[in-house]
Every structure is written in C-alpha cells, then in structure tokens.
C-alpha cells in the first residue's frame, strides 16, 4: 500500500505510481524514488511516473487511458522522445510545474479470416503490412469514397500527430503539429502508383482499407503493439471518447519537440 510522504515545506506529495521498463538501472532508480516519494498502486495513483523509453511510455499510456491519469516519463531508454530527463531530486516540484499535452487515439476495426471482427486503439499509428514475400494490394476508401483503387506496396500507415515523428517519419511521411486536427496517410515502399507519397487527412475522416487477393497476398494490421493477421478489411478513425495526458518539463513540451523535429537535418 502506498504511503504519503511530506516534504520539507510541509506539503504532501501527490499519489505517485512508479513503473519501469524492468532494466536493472531503471528498477534501482525506481526503488530510490519510492523510498523518497512513496508509491501507490497503478489504479490508485494521481500521477504515473514511467522510467524507461518510448516503448514503455506507449504501454503506460494505454494503461492510463482507462483511468485518465496523467503520465510523466523519465528517460531510461534509447531515444526518449516522449520522456523527460532523469533526476531523483525535486520530483514533486517538477510534476507541479509540468506542461500537459492531451492526445487522442485512433480506433481500428479489423475483419480477419481467422478472428472475425476485432478492435484496438493506437496512440501512434495504425499500420498494414504484407505478410509474405509478395507485395500487398490495398484499396483505400476515405469517408465512403474510393480514393485509391489499388496501392501495391509493402504496407501503409495512418498516423496521429503524436505518432507522426515515429514510424511515419521513417516512412517519409509528414510531421504534423501536435494540436493539428489532421492525420497522415503514408505508404510504405509503394510500388504502384510509384510516385504516390500519401495524403494529409482531416482527423474526422474515416479511412477504410480493403485487401485485394487476401488469400494470395496476406496482410496484417497493427495498432501500436496489437497485431491481427490475415485481415480482409480495416477501418480507422479518431476516437475522442478516449484520451490521455502527457506531462513535460517547461520548455520541453511535446508541441515544442515536434516543432523542433521539423528543422532537423
């Protein structure tokens, strides 16, 4: 059971839950932080502090979405795009001063030969991938209108602004300002039409992907870390009924990081 720790100023800390990526360094740091600031179960916490990398942050955000508890990350990974710098000192003051960013997931509904109709949420992107050596053939429908009759490719992804600097950027998709009401539709290694580079869509758009020749050219669909195989069609749209709040130290907000990324060479 968690306990309340009182600082030298006489103010009680907020109820914090510490989670880690299970590496020795992160676990040792979490043990010291728990001794200083207390520790509460995940479902009783007012703030989640995640010690790890962006992978842990993504997992933690999915867990926190159910209770709508804000998440503050400290970097113990490699990239740490969504993390703050690690320090054991003045944690309560940092949490009080932190700037918040609200992000919303994509809702993915898949129809697959093996699993029927299934759903999942994605904070970064929904991706479709070819599952064999043969290229995928996909029809793309936006708001009920066929926009691309056939895309022959390794795959395609639909990204949120928060995810636009992740896999989407590696696939040469556009970086979206974090508060933009937009989604990035980006092909992965397109073969035909070879020069199609994707599209920027309204966040209100409903995007449907239909697989061509699914028996011969199987396709999998992934929402962040949830994967379905042998999909026949996938529908994706933003889900505003869910959301999660990220916390960043002043001057290092997610908005600022995304803007800075656009000027990197």
In a domain, 4, yes or no: no
In a domain, 160, yes or no: yes
Question: Could you give the number of structural domains in the chain?
Answer: 2
- 22 and 143 both lie in a single domain: no
What pLDDT tens digit does each residue of the chain (265 aa) get? 333 333 333 344 689 999 999 999 999 999 999 999 999 999 999 999 999 999 999 999 999 998 889 999 999 977 778 899 999 999 999 999 999 999 999 999 999 877 899 999 999 999 999 999 999 999 999 999 999 999 999 999 999 999 999 999 999 999 999 889 999 999 999 999 988 999 999 999 999 999 999 999 999 999 998 999 999 999 999 999 999 999 999 988 888 888 888 887 6
pLDDT at position 255 is: 84
Could you tell me the pTM of the whole model? Answer: 0.87
Residues 130 and 169 in one domain: yes
**Residue 2 is assigned to a structural domain of this protein:** no
- Please indicate whether residue 54 is annotated as part of the active site: yes
Any domain includes 172:
yes
Instruction: Classify residue 9: in a domain, yes or no.
Output: no
- 124 labeled part of a ligand binding site: yes
Q: Give the CATH number, domain containing residue 80.
A: 3.40.50.10330
**CATH number of the domain that residue 180 is part of:** 2.60.200.30
Task: Examine the domain organization and report whether 256 and 217 are in the same domain.
Answer: no
Nearest CA to 68 out of 32, 21, 104 is that of 104
Task: Respond yes or no on whether the N-terminal peptide bond of residue 169 is cis (omega within 30° of 0).
Answer: no
Whether 10 maps to a domain, the answer reads: no
Instruction: State whether 206 and 98 are in the same domain.
Output: no
Whole-Å CA distances, 212 to 44, 134, 150, 153, 209: 47, 12, 8, 12, 10
The first and second tokens of residue 203, run together, are 């966040």
211 is in an annotated binding site: no
Asked if residue 55 and residue 34 are part of one domain, the reply reads: yes
Statement to judge: residues 117 and 216 lie in one domain: yes
Pair (115, 220) in one structural domain: yes
Among 54, 68, 89, 239, the active-site one is 54
- Known binding residue 213? Answer is no
**Does the annotation place 54 within a ligand binding site?**
yes
pLDDT, position 65? 92
Convert 156-188 to b/e letters by CB count within 10 Å (16 or more is b): bbbbbbbbbbbbbbebebbbbebeeebbbbbbb
Residues 140 and 210 occupy one common structural domain: yes
Say if residue 149 is in the same domain as residue 75.
no
Which contiguous run of DSSP H or E holds residue 155?
Answer: strand 145-159
What is the phi/psi pair of residue 41, to 5°? -60, 155
pLDDT at 135: 97
Host domain of residue 113:
106-238
201 lies in the same domain as 181? yes
Residue with tokens 């699993």: 115
User: Is residue 11, in this structure, part of any structural domain at all?
Assistant: no
The answer on 146 and 60 residing in a single domain is no
Specify if 7 maps to a domain: no
Q: Do the annotations mark residue 165 as ligand-binding?
A: yes
172 & 228 share domain: yes
Annotation-wise, does 249 bind a ligand?
Answer: no
């Amino acid at each position: 059971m968690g306990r309340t720790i009182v600082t030298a100023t006489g103010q009680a800390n907020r109820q914090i839950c510490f989670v880690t990526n299970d590496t020795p360094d992160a676990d040792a740091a979490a043990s010291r932080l728990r001794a200083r600031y207390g520790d509460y179960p995940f479902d009783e916490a007012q703030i989640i502090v995640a010690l790890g990398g962006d992978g842990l942050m993504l997992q933690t955000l999915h867990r926190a979405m159910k209770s709508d508890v804000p998440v503050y990350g400290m970097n113990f990974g490699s990239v740490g795009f969504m993390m703050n710098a690690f320090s054991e000192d003045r944690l309560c003051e940092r949490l009080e001063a932190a700037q918040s960013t609200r992000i919303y997931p994509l809702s993915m509904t898949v129809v697959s030969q093996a699993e029927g109709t299934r759903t999942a949420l994605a904070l970064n992107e929904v991706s479709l991938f070819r599952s064999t050596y043969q290229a995928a053939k996909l029809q793309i429908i936006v708001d009920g209108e066929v926009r691309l009759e056939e895309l022959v490719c390794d795959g395609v992804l639909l990204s949120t602004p928060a995810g636009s600097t992740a896999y989407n950027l590696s696939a040469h998709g556009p970086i979206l300002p974090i508060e933009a009401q937009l989604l990035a539709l980006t092909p992965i290694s397109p073969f035909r039409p070879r020069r199609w580079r994707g599209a920027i869509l309204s966040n209100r758009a409903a995007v449907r992907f239909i697989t061509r020749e699914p028996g011969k050219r199987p396709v999998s669909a992934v929402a962040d870390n949830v994967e379905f195989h042998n999909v026949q069609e996938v529908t994706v749209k933003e889900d505003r009924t869910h959301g999660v709040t990220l916390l960043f130290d002043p001057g290092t907000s997610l908005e600022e990081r995304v803007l800075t990324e656009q000027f990197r060479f």
